[in-house]
Structure formats: C-alpha cells, structure tokens
Structure 1
Amino acid sequence: MNLNPKLLAQMRAATRNLMGKSPTAATKKIQDALRNLPGAQMGKHMPQAPAGVQDLLDQLIPGVMSGIDPTRPATTPLPGQFLDDSYTNAAGTRSYKLYIPSSYNGTPMPLVVMLHGCTQNPDDFAAGTRMNQLAEEMHCLVVYPAQSQQANSSRCWNWFNALDQQRDQGEPSIIAGITRKVMSSHAVVDSQVYVAGLSAGGAMATIMGTLYPELYAAVGVHSGLPFASANDLQSALAAMRGDFKRPDIESRGVPIIVFHGDKDNTVHPANGDELVKRGVRHLQGAPVTEPGSVPNGHKYTRIVHHTEEGTPHAEQWLIHGAGHAWSGGHASGSYTDSKGPDASREMMRFFQTRR
C-alpha cells in the first residue's frame, strides 16, 4: 500500500506524542487516522484491515507499546550472524543472543559479555551500544544474556539480592554459565573475555568481575553501582541515591573502565567514584586527569590509574551534562546519548590493553 507521505508523517508524529501513555489510546489514534484511508472498512474493533494497513500497524503500535520511537533511524544490517540460544542450570534458564562477526573462521577471538539495563533486551542493547558493529571492526564475539520478565518484572538484573551476589549462585551462575557455554562452542581466547553493562547490567557486570576474576579479564560499567552496594529493594534505592553499603569482601582489583553522567538522576554519580576507588586501593602513584570534549557534544573528565608497569588499570569517564544513558550510543536503542564520548569504542580500547 502506498501511503500519502503527509499522512505517514502525521501518524508517526501521533505515535511520538503518545509515548508513555496508554497503548489503547495510541491504538485508537492510529485507527482513527486509518479509517480515513480509501478502501478502509474497519469496524469498531477493527476486525479487518485493508491490504498494507496491518503491516503499518505492526510497525507503529509495537513502537508505542515498547516506548521506542518508530521514526528512529535503523542500524545498517551487518554481515555477521546474530543467533538465539539459551542456557539452563539449577538457578534457572536465560535466553541470550550471540553475535558472530563475518571474520570468524574458527580462529580464537576475544569475547565480550554485554548485560542490558532495565526494560531492555539483547536486540535493543545491541542496537543502542553498536557493539556488533565494533565486533565486525575489531574481530570479537559478543554475547547478550537476556533477563527474563519472570525473574524481574522490569527485566532488571537482580544485582541487589544477596543470593545474586554470590559465586555459583543465582544469576551470576547463569551469566557465568552462558559465558562458558559460548567459550566451549566457539573459539575464544580464554584470557580475553570481558564483561560490561548499563545501569542494573553495569551493577551485575561489577558482580561478575568480582566473583569470577579468573573468567573476566576486565569490566566495563556504564551508569552502574559497586559490588554488593545493596541487599534488598530498600537499600537498592538508597544505593542509587549514592548511599551504598560496603561489601563483606573487597574487590580483587579487576581492571575496570567506568562511565557516568554527572547529571544522572537515576544512579548517582557517586557510584562511579566508589567503583573506581575500590578497584585501585592496591595501586601506588597519582592518577592522570585528562579533560576533553566531543565536537558538538559533551565535555568530559577522564581519570586514569596505572599499574607500576604503566598499564591502565582503571579509567573513570565523568561526562558533563549527561544523564542516565549509554554515551555515544545509537538512537535506535533505548537509553542512549549520541553526544558522546563513545563508551563502546573506549571500552573496547581499554579491553584490548589486557592482551
């Protein structure tokens, strides 16, 4: 069906205006517009739609219901494979998606484990972070574990549960199991496995790096929280405000790169400070502070802590004016800020220093 461009633009504008409102109201608005199309014979409950109309509804209505703007630019199709799979152990089952770059030929590659934030899923997170594009460029595998709605109604990783802060228990055992499953089914460089995440996923990435230092060579945390900073919902809310608990065990100093916006009203930037502080207690020497800016984007302050050998062990990127969103992300994914700096690329650069 060929739609009048003006009508299509009006419908898209209507869906944007309805973001966050009732999906029923969004559907009615679209239906009212479609009833004016030639040949549209729609009853009160739209039992039938003319050819092409249902296809349009399929495109627009899911965007309203998911909170994703259907006018956002789509990412370019990639030449690799993005495969669905799942993993089960005594703690439960989680699905995941694995991106295999087109350059994969059985020669061992690095592996990056990406943990999404609340309300997100692997496809959304992959689109927003553009990590699959970097996998093509930098020749690595990327796996995206998916939190289930049964485990958390908002699909948040349960970083604040005491059980999910223990090695070989709860969700850490599942994520570690997914990591090992990919390592056994594909050629992976064992010493080049990394874990990163956003928000709740960032908090869980910290847990994974703390509990499994022999498995993950480095950790990337965006807008996340320190290990064991809460043990229930009430303390989780306090931690998100910057009032976090101290763990019974100390971090073993896994290399870490941290991104946080200084205008983040969801997870207080103090969490980023604490993440780095815990990770560099064993280091000597003063950190190097490097202010910078992105052309037509955010200013930032980068603080680097080096080992005695001169290798970056911890990096902290404080992004001035940024909120709770993946820095440098693509607008086709949720919780992204395209103004940079490019957190995905900087994480990959940091990870590569572990080789």
Structure 2
Amino acid sequence: MASSTVSTQVQLVNRPVGWPTAADFRTVTVDLPDLAPGQVRVANEFVSVDPYMRGRMNDVKSYVPPFALGETMTGGAVGRVVASASDALAVGDVVTHAYGWRDLVQEDAAGFQAVPEIPGVPLSAYLGVLGMTALTAYVGLLEIAGLKEGDTVFVSGAAGAVGSMVGQIARLKGAKRVIGSAGSAEKVALLTGKYGFDAAFNYKDGSVRDQLAAAAPDGIDVYFDNVGGDHLEAALASFKDGGRAAMCGAISLYNSTDAPAGPNNLSNIVTRGLTLRGFTVGNFWDRLPAFSAEMAGWLASGEIVFDETVVDGVENTVDAFLGLMRGENTGKMVVRTGDLVPAL
C-alpha cells in the first residue's frame, strides 16, 4: 500500500494535438508536509475522468481555465479524511472535492464537502448518479430543453454517464418516447434492455440521420446533444416545429485537428422555430438540493439504475481517460485509486 504521506499524482506535460497520448502526461510522487491549521488530508477512493477534461488540455479560453503544464491535474473525486487539523472535518468523514488525478490530497478543509455514506451504494456514485454527471442530465433535460410530458426525446452518446441518466429521467418525467444512439450492439441492447429506452441504434451501422428518422418517424421534440457533428445534423432534420435542444457536449469533435464541417441544415432552426441552448452545469449548482432529493428517491425505489466502468490504480488514470475518449466505457468511467494507510 502507498504511504499515507506520499501522494501519487498525474500531470500534463504537453498540449495534445489531436488525440492525446500517454506521452502527454507524467506520473510523479509528492511528499506531503505536516498539516497546517485548517487543513485536512484525504485518501481518494475514486477519481473521475470526464470528456470536458479534453478541452482543458488546450490553452484556449473556455468556461474553466486550462490545465497548467507541469502541474497536477484536477477533477472530481471522492475519498475519506485520514488526518485533520480542522474542526470542520474529522478523520473518517467521506468527502467529495475537485482534487482528482491523485491518490492523496492535502488542502484547506473548505475545499471539501462532507457527504453521507448510503448503504448499498458505492462511494463512486458521488461522481456519477449522485454527482455532477447526473445533475448535468437533470438540468439539461428539464431546465435547458424544457421537457414536457408526451415529448419524444433523442439522446446521443446515450450509454455514457450523462446520456444514460437523460434517458431514464426523461422516461420518469413523462416522455412519450425515448431514443438513444450508442457505438456498439452491446450498448444498444443495454439502452433498451436496462435503461428503458424505447428505441436505440448503433451510429456505426449507417447514416445517423436515416436511423433516427426510422426510430422517430413522427419526429422529435427534444434533443440532448453529447456528440455534435452528424448527430446534431440528424436531430435538426428530425425536429418537429418548436423543438428544443440541450447542447451539452460534442465529443465527436474534441480530438479533431481540422475545422469541423457544420450541419448542412441549420436553416431548420429558422423554419421550424427551434431552440438550441448550450449550458455548463457549473452555473446550476443551486439546483443540487432538488436534484439530490429526487435522485435519492429514484435510486431507493430502483427506478434509476446505473453502470460504472472501473479502472484500478491511480497510475492508470491516463489509460482510463484515453479509454473514455475512445468510448470504451459503459456508464460512468472512474478510477479506483486504492486504499491508503491512514495517518496515525
């Protein structure tokens, strides 16, 4: 086991051009000093890798600052306090925070949020079904796209962490029909067999536009976009008048080195009176209490189910991220960083 005062951390050393490679990162060990007043030391149990992190590897202005070269990367994580010099958090408390990409973190207690342990629910759920990814689905579907009872909903990237939540929440909130796209026959079967989608298709099997038209012959009311590109073009072709889209991500474009071609049917936005609205969940943290209460009920009743793809070892965080970008995950991709010896 790792020492309780030595932290293994992953840093970005090159700005990727196109697809990131292992050579763009390095793994280092850092000796942590004694705790200063007000600080806590947390042993991470799980860290998150997410598509938005690819954008932070570029030195461009965005809604979050880019990762700095030569410094430890950050992201969602959940762990347990192993040493404390703060009255706010005690040894043994479970906390969520943004100091991911490492197995041991030491910072001011204000940077951590204590959360309860829920019997039968892994702590990793705080990075997915009980965390930012499911909140993204909840806000995007209900507030940004304005889901209405009886709507027909299309979700791209539907077997991922966000997409799988979107489809289930849409069903629970009264959607008439929920359609998803995914990248393998196994994921398509999962969408209809486990997540309650009414129809699903493999976007690699042919034209997304044609497959969506076949799955939604009467058109769609709502599109939740995780992919962009040909999926957005397909949605624009299938929208009914007054259709609404929540623009969450465009993973199909994140590693492109060429300027992407825009959809060839943008005029439908005008002729069909469509609304396409982009959002980032960081602007909607005030919705967290309502989301948490509703999601807790759905989980307890079994109305929401979730999958995780777990990679073991903080030293494999880069591999997990690259696998995520290749679509190797089902549900939320997390890294189990391993147990650390508690500080005595």
Q: Same fold (TM over 0.5)?
A: no
Task: Give the TM-score, by structure 2 length.
Answer: 0.31
Q: Which has the higher contact order (CA 8 A, sep 6+)?
A: 2
